[in-house]
Copies of this chain bind each other. A is one copy, B any other.
């Protein structure tokens, strides 16, 4: 039986610049009860992702903002603890969008909605991967690189935030497709991880005294694809080395998520001369690619061609701190919060 108390992380105030722990508030509320056709889910894993920073602003974006006093959104992997839908049984593991709380109720339709609930098979892969390498970040890498980056064997693919959940998948898929994969990351240990563990050909620190020269060394034949999720100076520097008909899938601008004023961007003259395509995308528009991604991603994972790391914060009370750290780039791999219940796929 579920506990009667639901712990929730609420947005207390809209951050100015970098979020502070005091912008969040943890409250206790009664555990909700499922109505007919609904299931009650107890959170095992909570996903933390950069896009959530955007939801904290009172600004028009591709999704509405979180209200002050509302609970922070987020993908979750949960255990079903009560079901009023015939297709779900207590003990089932589901992917959903429960947000930063220990329990949530989800409406279970005949087909899962864009945010679930989707029943997971704990035998197929560790269930936490449904939030990472086999989930939204992995699919962002897959769609962005393959559909918009269109890498050809022998080309050079550069990816920023290379040690993160999306970036680490981008580089490995680039290698699978026969490309030279070059990461950009911050700390030396991230660069080392990306090259030694993930098999990238090179990784450059954006803190290098001469980023242009470092990137040039790592990309002797120029850059054909730049998968960008940070924007800022790295994008400017890459544009100075982009090849003819280069492609730049753009899925985030994390370098400015905490900015109070939007900085200027790169000069786009080279985009004309070199016939470059810059393509902004949001993975949720591309649900039609989900079956392909699941098939390929699962196969690559099993074959050891797609590796991943998880950076795990323990307990919902540590979610705000882990989230702030992630925006600073302190995580390596997928940032998760272990919220509470046991994970049947781990010891």
Contacts and interface: CB of A to CB of B under 8 A. Distances in A.
Given A264-B265, A265-B268, A267-B265, A62 B250 contact: no
Contacts of A285: 275
B272 A252 contact: yes
Contact residue range for chain A? 20 to 34
Q: Most chain-B CB neighbours within 10 Å: which of A270, A272, A276? A: A272
Interface in A60-92: 61-62
A267 B263 contact: yes
A286 B197 CA distance: 43
A277 interface: yes
A201 B266 CA distance: 32
Nearest to A54: B273
Interface in A228-259: 231, 235, 244, 250-253, 256
A273 B235 contact: no
Interface in A265-299: 265-282, 285
B271 A278 contact: yes
A262 interface: yes
Interface of A: 54, 61-62, 231, 235, 244, 250-253, 256, 262-282, 285
